Structure 1
Amino acid sequence: MRSPYPDVEIPDVSLTEFLFADGFGDRADATAFVDGTTDDRLTFADFHAMTEKIAAGLAARGIGKGDVVALFAPNLPQWAALFHGILRAGGIVTSANSMYTAGELAHQLSDSGAKMLITVSSFLERAVPGAKEAGLSEDVVLTIDATEGHDSLADLVSSGAPVPEIATTADDTAVLPYSSGTTGLAKGVILTHRNLVANLCQVAAMGDVSPQTKIMAFLPFFHIYGMTVMMNQGLHRRATVVTMPRFDLEQFLSITQRYEVDRLYIAPPVAVALAKHPIVDSYDLSCVKTVFSGAAPLDGELGRVVARRLDCTVLQGYGMTELSPVSHCMPDDRGDLDLNSSGFALPNIECKLVDPATGEEVGPGERGELWVKGPNVMVGYLNNTDATDATKDAEGYLHTGDIAVVDDEGVYSIVDRVKELIKYKGYQVPPAELEALLLTHEWIADAAVIGVKDAEGEEVPKAFVVVQPGGDGLTDEAVMSFVAERVAPHKKVRVVEFLEQIPKSASGKILRKDLRARENA
C-alpha cells in the first residue's frame, strides 16, 4: 500500500547543499538555535559561518572525505554546528549516546572507524579511556568548551585555514548512528545524505513547521529523532530550535513558558508527566499549539489527557533509526485521527503488512509485521551483511520487527513488537496493550510489562509499576484486579513488582532487556 499523499521531489544533493545553498534570506539574523538554560544563541548566518570555520579547522587536522568523527556531548547549539561542520568537511558523523560508559563508547569508536572524538569537559572521564581503548590518542579528543590539555571548538574555528573544496554527493554516507535494530547489539546504521534530505522533504509535506515555529529540543541530537525531526527540520524550515542539555521537568516547563515554545517533540514518558504531574499547573503553557510524540507508542487516552490539559493538538508518529527515522505520522491538520494510531505513511513510502508465521501479506484490519520501502530506508548496517540481509530484503523493504494494523483509509497503528509478544497458553499477549491500560490507573505514574516464567514454566505477563505520588497504598493485588476487570483472561497480569522508575533509553523506549536481567539476577 502506497502513501495516500502524493510523492514529493527529493533533490539529488547533499544535506549541506540542501540546507544552506540558497542562503537564509530575511531569516539570516533570526535565531536558529538558542540554549534554553544559558540563552546562548546562534543566528542562521552565525550558525552557517561557524560550520564553515569548523570544516576548515577539521580539514587542517586531516579530516577529509569519508573520515568518521564522533560526537559525544549533550544537546547544545554547538553540537548542531559541529554536526554540519563535519559534513561540510566531507566527513561522516557517528553520534554517540551521551550516557555511554567508556567501554560502550570504545565499541562505537572502533566499529565506526572514528578518527576524532569531540566531547565536553564533563564527559572526559569516559571519553578519554573510551578513545584509548579504541586506539585513538588523546590529542584527537577535542572538547566543545575550553579545557586544559585538549584542543577545543574555539581552536577549530580560529584555525584560519581555508574552507575545503569537497564534492559530496547525495549517495555519500552522512551519518552512522547506532541502533540495536530489530534485535541484538548496537550496530552502525548507514544513512546517506539522500536518506536525510528525503526524510526532511517527506516530513515537511505532513507538518506545519514554519519560520515562526519554536521547537523544543531536549530529546538528544545523538538519536535520529532529535537529529532529523528537531535539529535538521528546524534548519530546513528556518524555525528556531530551543535546546536543553538534559531533561528536567521543572526546567522544561520553565523554558517552554519563557521562550514561548509552540511545538513540543516528546517521548511517551514526558506525556505521562504532562498528563499527571501537579507542577504542570504552575506554568503558563498557553503558547503550546502542538505536542508530537514519537520514539515509542503513545497511549491514546494519555494523549487526550495531555491535549485537554494543555489545550493543544497532540499527534503521534512512527519511525526507526533505519528509516532516517520517520515513516508514518499524523499530519498537523488531522487531529481527528485516533491517537492510538501512528497516522499515514509519508509521501514516497510503500508499506506491506506480513504475517510473521506464514510470510503472507495481510489486508486491512489484520495484524502483520510492518515492512517499509522508500528513499529514507538505510543503506544497511556497517560491516554487518548478515544483519542487513535479515532486516532489508532484495526488494528494498525494511522489515521493522513491529506488528501493525492498517485501516481502509491507510491509517497505521503499531500494536507490538514481533520479539516482545508474550505467549500465554498459545495466546499472544501484547505488552504495549497492557502498559497503555496500566497508565490509565490514577495511581500509576509509569509501567512496563514483560513475559516471565511461572512455577509451571508457562510464560505469564509481569507488570513493573511506578506509583504516582499519593498512591502509596496501591497493592499488587489491586493492580492485577484493575487489569483483570478490563481484559480477556489470557491477558491478565499475574505478577507485579513496584519500582522507583522504569528503565528507558534516552529516546524513551522501555529497556526490557534490563527488566529481564532483573529476573535473571
Structure 2
Amino acid sequence: MPEGKGPRILKWEGSVPVPPIPNTNFASFFLNVVAQYGEAAALVDAATGKRHTYGDIQHLVSRVRDGFAAAGVGVGDSVLLLTSNHIDAPVVLFSTMLRGAACVPVNPYLTAEELAHVIRVSGARWAVVHEEVLKVAEEAFSLVGSRVLRQLWVLGDVAGRASLADLIRTEIGDPPVAEAFDPATTVAMMPFSSGTTGLPKGVMLSHRNLMTAYLQSKYIRELNPPGSPNALQCTLMLLPTYHIYGHLFLMGCLSTGGKAVMLQKFSPEKYFEAIQNYKVTFSPIVPHIAKFLSETPLWQKYDLSSLMAFSSGSAPLPTSTMMNLMKRSGKGAGQGYGMTETCATVAVNGGAVGFKLNAAGKLLPYYECKVIDVKTGQMVGEGVEGEICLRGPSIMLGYVNNAQATSDTIDSEGWLHTGDLGYYDGDNFLYLTDRIKDLIKVKGYQVCPSELEKLLRDVEGVSDVAVVGVPSDRLGEAPRAYVVPAEGATLDPKELMKHVADKVLPYKQLSGGVEFVEVLPKNHMGKVLKRQLKNKFIKFQSKL
C-alpha cells in the first residue's frame, strides 16, 4: 500500500518472492530452457513458410558458434548483425553470446554513413548481413577503413561471398573451449539507441541484464491464474528484433515454447494474412500501427478469431487510440514502458498488475523508481511532475566508448536518469507527460508539447500532430504545431490556434504557428523525429 503522499521510492508490490538472478551465460541458460520443446516449430518466415524447430536452433547455434570460433571471434569482440526479421537472426545472436562476444543488432535501413558510425562505436570486426543490404554494409566498412572488417557472412546467396551456410559448414577440430568471463560485466548485446535527438549510442547490455529481463517476464506470466491460455503461443513478430522491444517479445515467445512468426515489413494485407494463416494469438505493435488498426475496415475481410491481445510500446499510446483499437478488434490491449537502456519493460498497464486509463503502468519486479525535481534533483511526492529515475539489475552497463554520456545518464548511486517527465499517483501508477529534451522554453517558462498535442488530437479531422519549439526573437522559443489532416478533412490553422488558446495559459499558445504536412518524420519504431522538424524550420527561416 502507498505510504502516504510524501516523496517515496516505488517498488514492486507483489507478495510472491522475486527469484535470484543466476550469474551465467544468458545464451547457454536460455538454450537449456527451450531444449524441452524439441521438434515444435519455433521460428517461421511469414512470407515463405520456412521454419526452424527448437531442435534446429540447438543444432545450428552449436555449428555457428564453432564457425565463429574458427574465425577468431572471442570474448570482448563484437559481431554486427544487419538484417530485418529473419529466422536465422536469433541463431546468430545466441552463437555470438556463447562465444562471449557482443552481438550488435542493427537497423538494416540505415545509410552507409549511419552504419559506419555504428561500426566505429561498436568496434565490430565481423558481420552477418542480409543479402539485400550487402552493398550498404560494404560501403559502410569502406568508410571506416579497409582493414577493419575481418570477415563477413551473407544471409542469403550472393555469388562469390561467404554465406551463413558456409559458416555452419566450417570444419573445426576439437570443440571450442568455453572462455571464462564474468556474465555480470561482459557485454552480450549492443543495441543502439534511437538517436532521435543526436547520434545513436551503443547500449552495453550484459548477460545478467538479459537474464533479469527473462526472469521478470517469466515471473509476471506466472502470476496469471492456473490454466490461463498462453497468449504468446503464436506471436507475430512485426516488431524488429534488432530493437530491444522486439527482442524481449521474441525471447518471451520462445521461452514458453511458442511459435514466432517473423514478418519483415508491415503492410496491411500481409499483416492480416499472417494472423489468419498462422493462427496468431498475440501481436506486439507500436503506436502508429495501433492507430492504423483502430481505423481500418480490413478487420471484416479476415478470420482473426485466434488473436487474443495486442501490446503497444516504444512511445506513449493515446488512450483514445487504445480504446478504439479494443473496440474495433474486440481484443484486449495493454501497453508497457521501457527503454533500450533498461533492457526490460519497466512498467506495465494491464494484466496482473492492474490497469488505469492514461497510465504508463505499475512498476515491475527488480526495479526501483523515484521521481525527482528537474532543477534541484530532490525526490517529489505523488502527483508532482519530475524526471523518472530507475534502478535495478537490468540497467545497462553504460554507453560503449562514451564515458561522458554514461555518467550523465547513470549517477553514482546507480540511478538511471531516463529523461522522461512524469509522476505517480496514490496507487503507485506511473504517468508519462513528456521528454525533458522536448520541453519548449517560452520566456523562461516550460511548455510540454504533449499537452498541446493532446488538445489538437481532440479536434475532429486531425490525424496526427507534433508540437516543437522553434526559435523566436521575442519569446526565445515558440510552440509550433505540425498537423497531419485526416483524409478528406478541412482544417483551418487559425481555428486550431484558437482551440488551443482557449484552453491554455498565454505563454502556451501556438505562437509559432500551425503547418499542415502529409506525414510526420518518424523512425522505425514510430517515434517522431522532432529534431528534423525544427531543423527544417530553421533552414527555411535562414533563406528568408
TM-score (norm 1): 0.93
- In the other structure, the counterpart of 1:165 is 177
Q: 1:23 to 1:415 in 2, by over 3 A?
A: closer
**What is the correspondence of 1:134-213 to structure 2 with a 5 Å cutoff?**
134-136=144-146, 140-161=151-172, 163-166=175-178, 167-171=180-184, 172-179=186-193, 184-207=198-221, 210=230, 213=233
Contact 2:80 2:128 in 1 (8 A): yes
| Greater mean alpha carbon deviation, residues 37-46 or residues 241-250 | 241-250
Q: Separation in 2 of the partners of 1:497 and 1:379?
A: 42
Q: Does 1:325 align with 2:334?
A: no
Of 448, 462, 478, the residue aligned with 1:430 is: 448
- In the other structure, the counterpart of 1:255 is 274
Partner deviation per Cα, 1:422-458 (whole Å, 9 max, x = no partner): 2334443222233344334442222211112346344
**What is the correspondence of 1:7-406 to structure 2 with a 5 Å cutoff?**
7-25=18-36, 27-136=37-146, 140-161=151-172, 163-166=175-178, 167-171=180-184, 172-179=186-193, 184-207=198-221, 210=230, 213-227=233-247, 229-334=248-353, 336-338=355-357, 340-406=358-424
Q: Over aligned residues, Cα RMSD in angstroms?
A: 2.2
How many residues end up aligned between the 2 structures? 517
Contact 1:288 1:310 in 2 (8 A): no
Q: 1:23 to 1:390 in 2, by over 3 A?
A: closer
Q: SS state of the match for residue 187, structure 1? A: coil
Contact 2:349 2:355 in 1 (8 A): no
Task: After TM superposition, give the deviation of residue 401 of structure 1 in Å.
Answer: 0.5
Q: 1:219 to 1:352 in 2, by over 3 A?
A: same
- In the other structure, the counterpart of 1:420 is 438
Of 476, 480, 487, the residue aligned with 2:493 is: 476
Task: After TM superposition, give the deviation of residue 72 of structure 1 in Å.
Answer: 0.9
Give the residue type in structure 2 aligned to 1:4. E
Q: SS state of the match for residue 65, structure 1? A: coil
Task: After TM superposition, give the deviation of residue 492 of structure 1 in Å.
Answer: 3.5
Q: Separation in 2 of the partners of 1:53 and 1:225?
A: 28
Q: SS state of the match for residue 394, structure 2? A: coil
- In the other structure, the counterpart of 2:481 is 463
Q: Separation in 2 of the partners of 1:361 and 1:506?
A: 34
Partner deviation per Cα, 1:93-115 (whole Å, 9 max, x = no partner): 11222121111111111221111
Contact 2:25 2:97 in 1 (8 A): no
Percent identity, aligned pairs only, is 34
Contact 1:8 1:347 in 2 (8 A): no
Q: Separation in 1 of the partners of 2:70 and 2:169?
A: 11
| Greater mean alpha carbon deviation, residues 61-70 or residues 329-338 | 329-338
Q: Separation in 2 of the partners of 1:180 and 1:273?
A: 22
| Greater mean alpha carbon deviation, residues 84-93 or residues 193-202 | 84-93
Q: 1:369 to 1:380 in 2, by over 3 A?
A: same
Q: 1:22 to 1:251 in 2, by over 3 A?
A: closer
Contact 2:461 2:485 in 1 (8 A): yes
Task: After TM superposition, give the deviation of residue 490 of structure 1 in Å.
Answer: 4.2
Q: SS state of the match for residue 126, structure 1? A: helix
Q: SS state of the match for residue 483, structure 2? A: strand
Q: Separation in 1 of the partners of 2:195 and 2:204?
A: 12
Task: After TM superposition, give the deviation of residue 267 of structure 1 in Å.
Answer: 1.1
Q: Separation in 2 of the partners of 1:201 and 1:182?
A: 30
Give the residue type in structure 1 aligned to 2:441. K
- In the other structure, the counterpart of 1:493 is 510
TM-score (norm 2): 0.90
Q: Separation in 2 of the partners of 1:374 and 1:185?
A: 26
Contact 2:387 2:417 in 1 (8 A): yes
Partner deviation per Cα, 1:460-502 (whole Å, 9 max, x = no partner): 221212222222x223234334444555554443422222221
Task: After TM superposition, give the deviation of residue 327 of structure 1 in Å.
Answer: 1.3
Q: 1:277 to 1:462 in 2, by over 3 A?
A: farther
Q: Separation in 2 of the partners of 1:461 and 1:236?
A: 46
| Greater mean alpha carbon deviation, residues 192-201 or residues 3-12 | 3-12
Q: Separation in 1 of the partners of 2:397 and 2:254?
A: 24
Q: 1:349 to 1:127 in 2, by over 3 A?
A: same
| Greater mean alpha carbon deviation, residues 150-159 or residues 459-468 | 459-468
Q: 1:457 to 1:483 in 2, by over 3 A?
A: closer
Q: SS state of the match for residue 178, structure 1? A: coil
Task: After TM superposition, give the deviation of residue 136 of structure 1 in Å.
Answer: 4.9
Q: Separation in 1 of the partners of 2:74 and 2:446?
A: 51
Contact 1:120 1:145 in 2 (8 A): yes
Q: Separation in 1 of the partners of 2:481 and 2:306?
A: 37
Mind listing any 5+ residue stretches in structure 2 that lack a counterpart?
A: 1-8, 540-544
Q: Does 1:4 align with 2:6?
A: no
Contact 1:146 1:154 in 2 (8 A): no
Q: 1:210 to 1:54 in 2, by over 3 A?
A: farther
Of 496, 500, 511, the residue aligned with 2:529 is: 511
| Greater mean alpha carbon deviation, residues 351-360 or residues 473-482 | 473-482
Give the residue type in structure 2 aligned to 1:154. A
